[in-house]
Structure 1
């Protein structure tokens, strides 16, 4: 430095003004060693191997997702990126490091992709937020845990699952348990409720009439109190209207992040 004190070994590219790194055919930044400068300038075998691992991982998940009737991940964008990054065949930027890459800032971080965005790991992926975590998709969202469970937990607030435009299906290979530890369990529907098993069923019609049918014995035990008919109203929530698809398309082309909800005709 100015006082002739040793500042370390290697090289430093620095300035108190602006800085830019520009290469019209692409940029390869690597922390993979090349002892004694052996090999080509664009030697990127370790990086290419990791990109190939990502491709194979996506290919495996395509098969797994289809086996579980889940949305298979798209691979076309990754294939294009792999071909473009190979020896910088197209103007791309490839970063590679054997022990990790860190991106830290006290401000914001933007990752914007005009094609598919792939976030993959051979180990865990952690997403944490001190405030809120929002995930939106204009088409669909698929969650798949192949070998262990899937868990949704609300520590204090309510847990709400809504389908605003279609059905809601809950299906299990084995038992389904619904419990309320300190509250009341209520099942309501506008067009009827049916409980069925073994050919027998209990059906509550939209008019409020109740049918109990069985192919065998009907057993009722306990004291019986028969009273005149009565009625209890169960108000149902009003779901919001659908978001305008044309507005979504215009916002997508304009790269806007907010679309006003509009009821479709």
Structure 2
């Protein structure tokens, strides 16, 4: 319904319930746009110059700001060695490339019209260069459900906030990665009016324990200024199976092999009300046991890609019926295509989209159109044989 919205029973108009646009159904709904879809709450003036169908100036500007912020913070982190071995430069990171690709997608333009339907057009109109869904709103975007929310990306997922980014959970929160994890903060509060002006990284557990482990490597804690280790109500225990070395200003205490060695460039003083030297005695402290290492191999998810079939290789005289364009989608090395009548035309395994070969033959039976992929090294299994296409 569009315009003045009113409650309606059969053909009776009742109380008003709003103004604008209302799409409602008790069944299913779908919105499809093969070249891209823009959902925006940014108002546009009723003029041709400012009311183009795919005017994406606002989300494009927001993406440019987000990409610049992400690049600046990544540069700062790399300059301070907050990076993993083998990390590329910020400009070559997959997250940066993803943001730039999203920007480029919003910069498309079209100067041609559909002559068969609208008689063409004049001038240039903004378009999307790839089939994206763009959502933009000046006031905010809210997504809510009392059940579950799933967000999945086959390549990278970027969350960029100009101010604060919060992740809250009433129960548990887990972050699991396969390769490496980096935490970095610049440590300077830009807004003096923020209620919490502390900078740096704060890790607090109000109750329970804090447990950090390097199960197959070293742990290094380094500070430019003071470094403090304290227990307010218990003890501090330091244990090592080989030796412990404490050094400061050239003096050292080394505990190794059942011996304690004191070294100092100056004097060593023992001050106590009473000195007692007894016989030999040993002590031990148990160290935690790590789980046995295991290998983790994850195959990267193959992002979906589309291949457009335009049937350009067919002489029009071959076909007693008209054909239109068809899109073939591949994902994870599996290519699926459907014929014009909707029956399954191709199922085979390919590492990437392959050229489609068109086959025809003259026979007395009604015409049929077949689309197939010729992959000599990977023949289709019997379960993957295509269904016979329907007669045109």
How high is the TM-score relative to the length of structure 2? 0.62
* 1:16 paired to 2:67: no
Query: What's the counterpart of residue 97 of structure 2?
Result: 76
Query: What's the counterpart of residue 110 of structure 1?
Result: 150
Deviation at 1:77, TM superposition (A): 1.9
- State how far apart, in whole Å, the 1-side matches of 2:14 and 2:301 are: 55
Unaligned runs of 5+ in 2: 1-6, 84-88, 108-126, 188-198, 303-392
- State how far apart, in whole Å, the 2-side matches of 1:216 and 1:24 are: 81
* 1:182 paired to 2:226: no
Query: What's the counterpart of residue 209 of structure 1?
Result: 259
Compare the two structures and name the one with the higher strand fraction.
2
- Which whole-Å deviations, capped at 9, do the CAs of 1:162-205 have from their partners, x for residues lacking one? 11111000000100011100001111011110001122110001
Deviation at 1:253, TM superposition (A): 4.6
Equivalenced residues, count: 251
The change in CA–CA distance for 1:78 and 1:242 in structure 2 (over 3 A counts) is: farther
- Which whole-Å deviations, capped at 9, do the CAs of 1:67-103 have from their partners, x for residues lacking one? 2211276312222222224331101111000010000
Query: What's the counterpart of residue 59 of structure 1?
Result: 71
- State how far apart, in whole Å, the 1-side matches of 2:293 and 2:77 are: 28
- CA contact 2:106–2:128 (8 Å) conserved in 1: yes
Superposed, which structure 2 residues align to 1:116-195 within 5 Å? 116-147=156-187, 148-195=199-246
Between stretches 57-66 and 67-76, larger displacement belongs to: 67-76
Q: Which has the larger radius of gyration?
A: 2
- CA contact 2:154–2:301 (8 Å) conserved in 1: no
Superposed, which structure 2 residues align to 1:229-244 within 5 Å? 229-244=280-295
Residue 204 of structure 1 aligns to a residue whose secondary structure is: strand
Compare the two structures and name the one with the higher helix fraction.
1
- CA contact 1:194–1:204 (8 Å) conserved in 2: yes
- State how far apart, in whole Å, the 1-side matches of 2:155 and 2:102 are: 10
Residue 16 of structure 2 aligns to a residue whose secondary structure is: coil
Unaligned runs of 5+ in 1: 255-265
Query: What's the counterpart of residue 270 of structure 2?
Result: 220
**Relative contact order (C-alpha < 8 Å, sep 6+): which is higher?**
1
- CA contact 2:38–2:135 (8 Å) conserved in 1: yes
- Which whole-Å deviations, capped at 9, do the CAs of 1:95-147 have from their partners, x for residues lacking one? 00001000000011111111111111111111110100101110111111212
Give the alignment's Cα RMSD to 1 decimal.
1.7
- State how far apart, in whole Å, the 2-side matches of 1:19 and 1:217 are: 85
How high is the TM-score relative to the length of structure 1? 0.90
- State how far apart, in whole Å, the 2-side matches of 1:84 and 1:240 are: 47
